[in-house]
Amino acid sequence: MERPYVIGLDLGGTNAVFGIVDRNANIVAQTSVKTQDYSTVEDFVDACMHSLNNIIDETGGIGNIYAMGIGAPNANYRKGTIEKAPNLVWAKGIVVPLAKMFSDRLGLKVAMTNDANAAALGEMIYGVAKGMRDFIVVTLGTGVGSGIVVDGNLLYGHDGFAGELGHVTMVRGDEGRLCGCGRKGCLEAYCSATGVARTAREFLQRDTRPSLLRNIDPNKIESYDVYKAAVQGDAIALEIFEFTGKMLGEACADFAAFSSPEAFVFFGGLTKAGDYLMKPIRESYEKHVMPIYKGKAKILVSTLDGAGAAVLGAAALGWSVEI
Amino acid sequence: MERPYVIGLDLGGTNAVFGIVDRNANIVAQTSVKTQDYSTVEDFVDACMHSLNNIIDETGGIGNIYAMGIGAPNANYRKGTIEKAPNLVWAKGIVVPLAKMFSDRLGLKVAMTNDANAAALGEMIYGVAKGMRDFIVVTLGTGVGSGIVVDGNLLYGHDGFAGELGHVTMVRGDEGRLCGCGRKGCLEAYCSATGVARTAREFLQRDTRPSLLRNIDPNKIESYDVYKAAVQGDAIALEIFEFTGKMLGEACADFAAFSSPEAFVFFGGLTKAGDYLMKPIRESYEKHVMPIYKGKAKILVSTLDGAGAAVLGAAALGWSVEI
């Protein structure tokens, strides 16, 4: 009999969320473990197995599970390792063979990829990119990540680290904003949630117009504050989204020249800004893209439920494993 | 018995060069037809078949030919058509089903792709990228073209038109140079042979230093003149290559964030400048690329013979056909 479920693990800096997922994107059981409560990966995996065994039993036992997929920061798909992840206490500065550890404990095949690639698989199998063979997922969260699908497969590149589109250079030279990667002018430094907050601080400083955002300590402004102000018609907040969307559209125009995708799928917290962000992205993309690509690519927002999306993405990776 | 040869056609604006090529990159017979001597594609194909039949007979007849590959401007791989090629008199503004026309006449399978993609196949099967599964060929000629290989396959994208890396935007906003595609600031407007000539005119104008290039009518300066001046130690000529190489290195740093290739292979007339161009490319690439990619990708120059490379690329496409 066909095994009806996979295990999906969304491994974040705060929570490790496990879901048992069927082929129709139903998360039939879920549990979680606090990622940071363990100082070694062995202790972390022990705690995970304890919680995980409960939901495996609830759903009919390990015989019902096809495989496991993990979406994690700094994951190396080729090696099944997490490499020097600064946000995971038990993986700081070291290489952790997490896929093998779970595989040994579960007796299942386990695949692991980075969060944005997992999101792309989730979109392809369960989401708005269902049936597409060429598309790009752009995740707009604390950083800007990407998962690139080419002819039905994730693009991994020579070393497994392809698809870091948050780190293409949008502002060249010294005037570019310093990025977390140590370079200047990266897309991520402008168009992540934290980039939007930086833009807010810049716009408020160079300008004397009144704005709802002036009621907030500039150092505490978050992208959600900008959204709330935009909803109330705040001119500066609207300009911040215009600026962000315009740059994302220009970046996507360059990405089109690379892989000519059927769609760009935006995913993550910032997309809650809806048309405040998506309208300038679409306009800027069509304005800047090369003539042969005009009017072709769709600019979409993920429809996967925010909370479950990362688990579904990891589950999709699980389904992609050959057993 | 295994068929030992393919036909490769390098279709350029001036000459259509046919080669009969074996599996070891030997062009065992060659012929050519003037592309512009015919006003309709039917007449052109008639003339081609006349010349081609001679070399097919010379090499033992059609029974020895496995398939045919064509590298051509504005070629659509998916459809086997040439679409509105401004440089081909018999294909201006129309769609020409050239692959099918040759296929009908020869009784062979015929595949067609654009010139830069053919160059990439040539490098993979016969050239410096032999054995590589992820690399990018950048062609530096009248324009800047690219062929992107991902996991052993050419990247075609949703519509067959992926890989126009000459048209990523390197200088944003209105100060970008006008490009032949109608947009501003494209890589091609700076780093093609014509881009290098434009840079020469700009540098000579903004500067009063003596230069060998001042002996030439500015409107007649070609990239080869810049090379000849550089060889003689001309400071402005050397700066022109520095500027060009620096930009190409920055562009490749962005391309790495996309597909993380094992190598970048430079191909075409400008590469004759050797280290005047390649050294700044390598330095700029390593300086600008994201830390996780540093020290990984090779920056190579094609070693395929200039004259035969395009035919070999087309031949490589012929070998990739499944019969």
Residue-wise pLDDT for B128-174, tens only, equals 999 999 999 999 988 899 999 999 999 999 999 999 999 999 999 99
Complex-level ipTM: 0.91
CA A262, CA A265: separation in Å to the nearest integer?
Answer: 10
- Please answer whether residues A253 and B254 qualify as being in contact, where contact means their C-beta atoms are separated by less than 8 angstroms: no
Q: Which SS3 state, helix, strand or coil, does residue B294 take? A: coil
Q: Which residues of A touch B296 (CB under 8 A)?
A: 158-159
Per-residue model confidence (pLDDT) at position B158:
95
Is B288 in contact with A169 (Cβ distance < 8 A)?
yes
Per-residue model confidence (pLDDT) at position A305:
64
Q: Are strands A15-21 and A27-34 parallel, antiparallel or unpaired?
A: antiparallel
Low-confidence ranges of chain A (pLDDT < 70): 1, 305-307
Task: Establish if A86 touches chain B: CB-CB under 8 angstroms.
Answer: no
Determine the residue among B190, B290, B296, B298 to mutate to test chain A binding: the one whose Cβ has the most chain A Cβ atoms within 10 Å. Answer: B290
CB contacts < 8 Å between A and B, how many? 126
- Distance from B168 to chain A by nearest Cα, in Å? 5
Cβ-based burial of B195 (10 A; exposed 0-12, middle 13-18, buried ≥19): buried
Which residues numbered 187-226 in B keep a CB inside 8 Å of some CB on A? Answer: none
Which whole-number Å values give the CA distances from B48 to B32, B42, B127, in the listed order?
8, 10, 27
Q: Which residues of B touch A151 (CB under 8 A)?
A: 153, 155-156
Task: Establish if B234 touches chain A: CB-CB under 8 angstroms.
Answer: no
Return the closest-CA partner of residue A75 out of A142, A179, A203, A164.
A164
Residue-wise pLDDT for A179-222, tens only, equals 988 999 999 999 999 999 999 999 999 989 999 999 999 999 99
Task: Establish if A253 touches chain B: CB-CB under 8 angstroms.
Answer: yes
Query: Strand (E) positions, B35-183?
Result: 65-71, 75-76, 81-83, 95-96, 110-113, 135-140, 144-150, 153-154
Return the closest-CA partner of residue A255 out of A300, A285, A276, A281.
A285
Residue-wise pLDDT for A20-58, tens only, equals 999 988 999 999 999 999 999 999 999 999 999 999 999
A269-285 as b/e: b if 16+ CB within 10 A: bbbebeebbbebbbebb
Backbone φ and ψ for A26, nearest 5 degrees, come out as -90, 125
- The stretches of chain B forming alpha helices (DSSP H) are 41-58, 98-106, 115-125, 188-191, 193-205, 223-231, 235-259, 275-288, 306-320
Residue partners of B307: CB distance under 8 A and separation at least 6: none
Q: Which residues of A touch B168 (CB under 8 A)?
A: 254, 257-258
Q: Which SS3 state, helix, strand or coil, does residue A265 take? A: strand
Task: Establish if B250 touches chain A: CB-CB under 8 angstroms.
Answer: yes
Per-residue model confidence (pLDDT) at position A307:
61
A133, A153, A161 ranked by CB distance to B260: nearest: A161
Residue partners of B213: CB distance under 8 A and separation at least 6: B200, B204, B221, B225, B226, B229, B234, B236, B237
CA A17, CA A30: separation in Å to the nearest integer?
Answer: 7
CA A247, CA A280: separation in Å to the nearest integer?
Answer: 9
A167, A259, A262 ranked by CB distance to B155: nearest: A259
DSSP A305: -
Residue-wise pLDDT for B32-54, tens only, equals 999 999 999 999 999 999 999 99
